[in-house]
């Protein structure tokens, strides 16, 4: 299917989405697909998940002087997006779900807090009821980071559709990939209009009234302001379209496999399964469980490896995992693009945030005792049963 979609682009001799009729654009078609999938009003195709996050933050009016709350376990791009928007990232604990702890989020809110980015980490939906209630009370913008959870849901609603905006990634290592690419989802006209202008430095020049011309259904009109070039190419859009045709069947298969494995190991003493806020919405490409101590986790991982089961302890991978806050070197050291353009020292910022490697001890405790096993669509029931047998065998020796 991928070849068919890519060849269609080449045959049209159109790699740029604004090079002809909008209804013949692959990027436009991808936006329509995800609008329908997630039941939101607007979709904006961009060149990366990070670009989607930055565009969403700019769309929400986040800028110098603002703080944005993010979890301590997420890819560094979440923090980077906040810094590119010239705001200050405030890092809070995750809990046994390995997603943002709602209580930690609430405790971190200050008068400078503008937004929060809950991250549906490793395909696991965040505790969105609690997060949305806290954000609503404090009048904060909620931007969901769905980079690792495309196809997931929370209580029947698609991830990315619960907050004010949601950001997908189609990067190489995602369940649905185009090599690179992203998508901003929102039902907020203002966020969409501002993000559209920001994602394309010439956006407002493709027509006198670009929103009306391309039928974007936005009721908000803005004067032009400087933007980036985050547009998605037609080739990337075509690949994402082809891949997205299979997303539901992939998630269904992964959920069935993970369910089989969980049922086979849930009764093992001294193993604690990762808590999933909504199991029905888990994308299910990752199995995580915890051991009582760090030493037991490291031993368990090693012995499981010897049984032929690839795995890892999340906080002991032999390299600086950029998903763990303590390894975000330039964030920890407050290094910005320029000394003259530093969000922490900007004249508009009146708050004070400090970082330290041990600032989120509960996060580090969960991560250091965690065993992670990747699941994939090529796994068979026999593979799942082999995994169950191996985990039970190793657990009997710990």
Parallel/antiparallel/unpaired status of strands 312-313 and 141-145: unpaired
CA distance 22 to 4: 20
Q: Are 328 and 322 in contact (CB under 8 A)?
A: yes
CA angle at 226 for the pair 233 and 223, rounded to the nearest 5°: 105
Known catalytic membership, residue 174 = yes
Alpha carbons 384 and 366: distance in angstroms, whole number: 25
- Going by the DSSP 8-state scheme, the letter that residue 221 receives in this structure is -
DSSP 119: B
Q: What angle do CA 86, 89, 93 make, to 5 degrees?
A: 170
Orientation angle between helical segments 381-395 and 247-265, nearest 10 degrees: 30
Catalytic residue among 35, 114, 174, 326: 174
Selection from 330, 324, 356 nearest residue 343 by Cα: 330
Q: How far apart, in whole angstroms, are the C-alpha atoms of residue 88 and residue 104?
A: 17
> Alpha helix locations (H) across the chain?
2-12, 26-38, 49-59, 76-84, 102-107, 128-137, 189-198, 210-213, 234-244, 247-265, 294-306, 329-332, 361-368, 381-395
For CA atoms 353, 358, 361, 365, the dihedral sign is positive
Catalytic residues: 174
């Amino acid at each position: 299917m991928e070849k068919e979609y890519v060849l269609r682009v080449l045959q049209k001799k159109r790699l740029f989405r604004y090079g002809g009729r909008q209804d013949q654009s692959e990027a436009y078609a991808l936006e329509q697909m995800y609008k329908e999938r997630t039941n939101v009003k607007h979709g904006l195709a961009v060149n990366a998940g990070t670009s989607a996050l930055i565009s969403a933050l700019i769309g929400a009016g986040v800028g110098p002087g603002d703080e944005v709350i993010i979890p301590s376990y997420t890819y560094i791009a979440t923090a980077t997006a906040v810094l590119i928007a010239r705001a200050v990232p405030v890092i809070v604990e995750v809990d046994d779900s390995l997603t943002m702890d709602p209580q930690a989020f609430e405790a971190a809110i200050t008068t400078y807090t503008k937004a929060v980015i809950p991250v549906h980490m490793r395909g696991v939906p965040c505790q969105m009821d609690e997060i949305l209630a806290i954000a609503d009370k404090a009048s904060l913008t909620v931007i969901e980071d769905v980079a690792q959870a495309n196809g997931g849901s929370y209580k029947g609603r698609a991830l990315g559709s619960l907050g004010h905006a949601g950001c997908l990634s189609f990067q190489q290592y995602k369940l649905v990939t185009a090599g690179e690419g992203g998508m901003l989802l929102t039902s907020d006209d203002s966020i969409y209009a501002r993000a559209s202008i920001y994602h394309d430095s010439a956006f407002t020049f493709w027509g006198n009234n670009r929103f009306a011309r391309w039928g974007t259904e936005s009721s908000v009109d803005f004067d032009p302001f400087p933007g980036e070039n985050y547009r998605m190419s037609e080739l990337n859009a075509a690949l994402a379209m082809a891949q997205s045709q299979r997303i539901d069947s992939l998630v269904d298969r992964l959920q069935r496999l993970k369910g089989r494995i969980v049922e086979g190991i849930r009764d093992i003493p001294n193993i604690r399964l990762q808590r999933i806020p909504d199991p029905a919405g888990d994308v299910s490409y990752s199995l995580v469980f915890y051991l009582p101590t760090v030493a037991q986790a490291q031993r368990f991982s090693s012995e499981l490896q010897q049984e032929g089961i690839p795995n890892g302890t999340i906080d002991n991978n032999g390299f600086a995992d950029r998903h763990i806050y303590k390894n975000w070197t330039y964030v920890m050291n407050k290094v910005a693009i320029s000394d003259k353009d530093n969000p922490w020292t900007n004249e508009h910022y009146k708050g004070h945030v400090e970082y330290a490697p041990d600032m989120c001890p509960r996060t580090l405790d969960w991560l250091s005792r965690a065993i992670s096993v990747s699941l994939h669509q090529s796994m068979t029931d026999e593979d799942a049963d082999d995994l169950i047998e191996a985990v039970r065998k190793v657990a009997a020796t710990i």
